[in-house]
Amino acid sequence: MRNIMLKEMKLSASPISYLFILFGFMFLIPGYPVLCGAFFTTLGIFQGFQYAREANDIEFSVLLPVSKKDTVKGKYLFVCFIELCSFAVMTICTLVRMTALSDAAVYTKNALMNANLFALGAALVVFGLFNTIFLNGFFKTAYKQGKPFVIYIIVAFLAITVFEAVHHIPGLEAVNAFGFEHSGLQVALLLAGAAIYTIMTLLSYKSSCRRFELIDL
């Protein structure tokens, strides 16, 4: 599996997939929907899949002395690697906003979602949607990418809209707490997001393995 992962990182991956990790720094932009950073990270992954398709990466992978399940696993591991790298950047930016920049007026007067632990959990949900909709959709044919990505875009921005709007609902203001206010609730929401991401990714992976086994390449 180590060799498959190295193949994904060195041969299959497009440089843009690594470059788009930097969109995690969007969590530092005031007055901006920070969850778009998670979307742009997945956009970079999508561009990488297009690059790999033009290079006949899937056909090359199945010719290797590995199972088709391992080919799917390699893709999922690489995607999760990129997502978690971006998530690490988002986490650093969030901690900076919650500590060193906690008194900055551009953040305290922000009308949109604050970069807090709830936002981090929501970013993981967006990543989970990508893994469920795009990756699982891609492995239905191991070639067509446009339709599953368009569906993902629609669902992802609907989810981002909901996350952005939820703190405006009376009684739910605490989800948008700034700094370390309501830390217990914030931690619970982050853990919930992590659980949702894990479950969605694992279920998607199992479904993708079944679908890929049925494809005659």
**What SS3 state is found at 64?**
coil
Range of weakest confidence among 48-52, 69-73, 176-180: 176-180
- Mean of the per-residue pLDDT values of the chain: 91
Q: Mean per-residue pLDDT for 185-191?
A: 96
Give the separation between CA 114 and CA 31, rounded to whole angstroms.
9
Contact 17, 44 (CB under 8 A): yes
pLDDT of residue 129: 98
Give the separation between CA 207 and CA 107, rounded to whole angstroms.
41
Give the separation between CA 98 and CA 28, rounded to whole angstroms.
11
Range of weakest confidence among 98-107, 157-166, 196-205: 98-107
pLDDT of residue 27: 95
* pLDDT tens by residue, 18-69: 999 999 999 999 888 999 999 999 999 999 999 888 888 788 877 778 888 9
Name residue, tokens 């190295």. Answer: 6
pTM, entire model: 0.94
pLDDT of residue 104: 81
Please, what is the angle between helix 36-54 and helix 146-165, to 10°?
A: 170
**Would the pLDDT of 217 be above 70?**
no
* pLDDT tens by residue, 109-148: 778 899 999 999 999 999 999 999 999 999 998 888 999 9
Give, in order, the Cα–Cα distances in Å from 153 to each of 20, 106, 158. 16, 29, 8
pLDDT of residue 122: 97
Q: Mean per-residue pLDDT for 8-23?
A: 89
Joined tokens for residue 193: 């997001």
Report the amino acid identity of residue 165: A
Give the separation between CA 124 and CA 120, rounded to whole angstroms.
6
Q: How is residue 55 annotated by DSSP?
A: T
Joined tokens for residue 87: 């998530």
Residues near 143 by Cβ (< 8 Å), separated by ≥ 6? 53, 58
pLDDT of residue 93: 95
pLDDT of residue 45: 96
Give the separation between CA 41 and CA 52, rounded to whole angstroms.
17
pLDDT of residue 10: 79
